[in-house]
Amino acid sequence: MSVSETNATRPAAKPLTNVKKSLYFHVGLIGVLFLLQFILPAYHHGNLARIMVLASYAMGYNILFGYTGLLSLGHAMFFAAGMYGMGLPMAHLGWTPEPALVAGFVAGIVVSASIGFLALRTSGVSFMIVTLMFAQAGFLTILYFGEWTRGDEGFVIQQAERVMAGFDLSQPANRYNAALILFSLCLIFTLKLVHSRFGRVMIAIRENEERTQMLGYDVHFHKWMAVIMSGTMAALAGAAYALLFGYAGATFASVQYSIFPLLWVLLGGAGTALGPFIGTLFMFYLIDLSSSFTTAYMLIAGLALVLLTLFLPQGLVGELRRRVMPWLT
Terminal-residue alpha carbon distance, the chain:
45
Give me the pLDDT at residue 302, please. Answer: 82
Q: How confident is the model at residue 15 (pLDDT cuts 50, 70, 90)?
A: low
Mean pLDDT check: name the lowest of 6-15, 193-202, 255-264, 313-322. 6-15
User: For 262-288, what is the mean pLDDT?
Assistant: 93
Please, are residues 62 and 190 in contact by the beta-carbon 8 Å criterion? yes
Averaged pLDDT for residues 137-163: 91
What distances in angstroms separate CA 102 from CA 54, 87, 107, one per listed residue?
Answer: 19, 11, 8
CA 75 to mean position of chain CA atoms? 10
SS3 label, residue 88: helix
156: which strand partners? 247
Q: Can you give the pLDDT at residue 307?
A: 86
Mean pLDDT over each residue of the chain, to the nearest integer: 90
| CA distance linking residue 46 with residue 36, whole number of Å | 12
pLDDT above 50 (res 12): no
Q: Above 70 in pLDDT, residue 24? A: yes
What pLDDT is stored for residue 105 in this prediction? Answer: 96
- Give the model confidence (pLDDT) of 58-71 as tens digits: 999 999 999 999 99
DSSP letter at 195?
T
| pLDDT for 51 | 97
Look at residue 141 and tell me whether its pLDDT is greater than 60. Answer: yes
Higher pLDDT, residue 91 or 79? 79
pLDDT-based confidence at 312, cuts 50/70/90? confident
Q: What is the CA radius of gyration of the chain?
A: 21
Q: Calculate mean pLDDT across residues 217-233.
A: 96
- What is the model's pLDDT at position 16? 63
Q: Is the pLDDT of residue 7 over 50?
A: no
Cβ-contact 260, 105 below 8 angstroms: no
Q: Are 201 and 222 in contact (CB under 8 A)?
A: yes
**What is the pLDDT, as a whole number, of residue 22?**
83
pLDDT band at 124 (very low <50, low <70, confident <90, very high): confident
Is the Cβ–Cβ distance between 232 and 112 less than 8 Å? Answer: yes
For residues 164-186, average pLDDT = 94
Query: Cα–Cα distance between 64 and 202 in angstroms, integer?
Result: 9
Percent of the chain with pLDDT over 70: 95
